[in-house]
Amino acid sequence: MVMNTPPMGWNTWNTFGENINEQLIMETADAMVEKGLKDAGYEYVVIDDCWSCKYRDENGDLVPDPVKFPHGIKYLADYIHSKGLKLGMYSCCGPLTCAGYPGSLDHEYQDAMFFARNGVDYLKYDWCYHPRNMAGWTLYNRMRMALDATGRDIVFSICNWGEEDAETWVKKVGGNLYRSTCDISDNFDIITTIFKEQENLFCLSGPSCFNDIDMLVCGMYGKGNVSSTGGCTAEQYATHFKLWCMTSSPLMIGCDIRNMDEGTAKLLTNKKYIAIDQDAEQRPPIRLGDNRLIALFKHVSDCEYMLSVTNVTKERMEWNLVSFPEFGFPGNGDWGIELVDIDTEEKRGTFTTNFWVNDLEPGQTKIYRCKVVKLR
């Protein structure tokens, strides 16, 4: 299965962990439609770990927890499909999942058939308890081949946290996306640390196999399964979302979208940001700037570019420089770059050699649409 743009959807783990059930999933599917997320491009409803019993049945099949999912998985899949959405599920390449439920090791073909006959469209495949005497790529290749054998198109989300140089083999084994990071949490320092660690992997992402820098925590505000502090501010969540869009990461919402506030809903459905993430060219950004400022320059369609600038310090940004020669612009005065703030559509001016950033609050990101114009 080939994907031309990164997948978008929602996953249970960040907020709910093991506290999942049929009603939650159906209500979330309803909310995705009612709150405009489906229309914005989000289509996958992914049930993460803890959905099954801790045993297989007499035939060796996975068993949905009868308390959490009394009508089974196919019932849920049919409901989600009726909303124009798709169902994602979770398993692991070891004998156990991360939470101690049955994994798919040596059951790959049986489990793939289980997922296919239950209408599953997406599989997140984790890395816990994997056998250390087997190369990771062989374990993931096993499951990709098993999914293919079902005859059903199933997106394959490889989640091995970037170990064993995963970026060198995930595309070869049929992965559609790969988790290259440790687990995210609802903490701005961890969000920016994860992002900075991705610099050498920006170019190892694109159509058919996307670098997944983990799920979104936007709108959680310290509530949920991955929250150890009071969460982030609205501005920090906006930066989180903008940075993920600038790198064309998969966009998997992690908050409780049934109860998200208006600001979160507006952020997650922002057409301009999503258009950057889903741009047809799918080009990675060029990293500019120093440790005080994350600046990203990105080629997009129609011979235009995007420039994002992020203040990662604890103080207001005063007169920090984005130097155009860093991304190869000649700066000889014959040509200039016109900058337009994509939020306000305000033209910031036309610049030939650099752009001074002097209006960023701590944790804030601004994105500018760039166009090269002839000056003389």
Compute the distance between CA of residue 67 and CA of residue 115 in angstroms, rounded to an integer.
Answer: 19
Compute the distance between CA of residue 264 and CA of residue 258 in angstroms, rounded to an integer.
Answer: 11
Compute the distance between CA of residue 185 and CA of residue 200 in angstroms, rounded to an integer.
Answer: 22
Q: Are 287 and 342 in contact (CB under 8 A)?
A: no
Active site residue 189: no
Q: Taking the CA of residue 373 as centre, how many other CA atoms within 13 Å lie in the half-sphere pointing to its CB?
A: 13
Q: Are 77 and 115 in contact (CB under 8 A)?
A: no
Catalytic residue among 49, 111, 121, 126: 126
Single-letter amino acid code for the residue at 8: M
Query: If you write DSSP's letter for every residue of 53-116 in order, what string do you get?
Result: -SS--TTS---B-TTT-TTHHHHHHHHHHHTT-EEEEEEESSSB-TTSSB--TT-HHHHHHHHH
Catalytic residue among 30, 65, 148, 183: 183
- What are the E-state strand segments in 207-285? 210-212, 251-253
Residue 224 is given by DSSP the state S
Active site residue 111: no
Question: What positions carry a catalytic annotation?
Answer: 126, 183
